[in-house]
Amino acid sequence: MRFTVAIDGPAAAGKGTIGRALAARFGFAHLDTGLLYRAVGALGGDPVAAAVGLRAEDLARDDLRSMAAGQAASQVAVIPEVRAALVDFQRRFARAEGGAVLDGRDIGTVICPEAEVKLYVTASAEVRAHRRWLEVGGDAGRVLSEVIERDARDMGRAEAPLRAASDALLIDTSDMAIAAAIAAAVAAVEARL
């Protein structure tokens, strides 16, 4: 069976948590596509060469969840050649036998516009910054500034900007418990299976 769940949204909205929960619930493979870009950014050097030569072990680095890796990901993601090098990998993963859940910024709009289920998971910048601050620490005001800056860069880039697909189910987790958000996502998948 080929079945793709595309989850898009800004940083720290909960899309990864929902993606992992869906993959576990339905036995689908899961790919946090942001890790691809985080790994390319964290590898340093020529980002295009890093994207072309990306290896599975590069996705297992301990530093990929840091604020620095997130900022680097957002910076290399605007490079068309980096995006092109990673698109084929993502599309093959999405259509592999057994079902797949991919979360990122352009899954439902660019990578998998034919996905059976599309979700757009979001939350206010303040809520997302607080979540990120709990995860990485540091100065809360600076974390909020970085979240807002990253949103502007991700939504404003010319190539594959962050936006909801026209047929995506919107899940706003600002005031929603994670269990409720997961339940909404599960219901959307069950309705299409």
117-122 and 29-32: which strand pairing? unpaired
The one-letter amino acid at 140: A
17 is in an annotated binding site: yes
13 is in an annotated binding site: yes
118 is in an annotated binding site: no
47 is in an annotated binding site: no
- In sequence order, what are the beta bridge partners of 103? 7, 32
153's torsion region: left (phi>0), alpha (psi -120 to 50) or beta?
Answer: alpha
| Other Cβ atoms within 10 Å of 108 Cβ, number | 27
12 is in an annotated binding site: yes
16 is in an annotated binding site: yes
80 is in an annotated binding site: no
15 is in an annotated binding site: yes
Residue 186 exposed, middle or buried by CB count within 10 Å (0-12, 13-18, 19+): middle
What is the number of alpha carbons within 13 Å of residue 146 lying toward its C-beta?
A: 25
Contact criterion met (CB below 8 Å) for 95 and 1: no
- Sequence-distant (6+) residues with CB within 8 A of 56 are none
> Which segments are annotated as binding site for ATP?
9-17
Residues making up the annotated binding site are 9-17
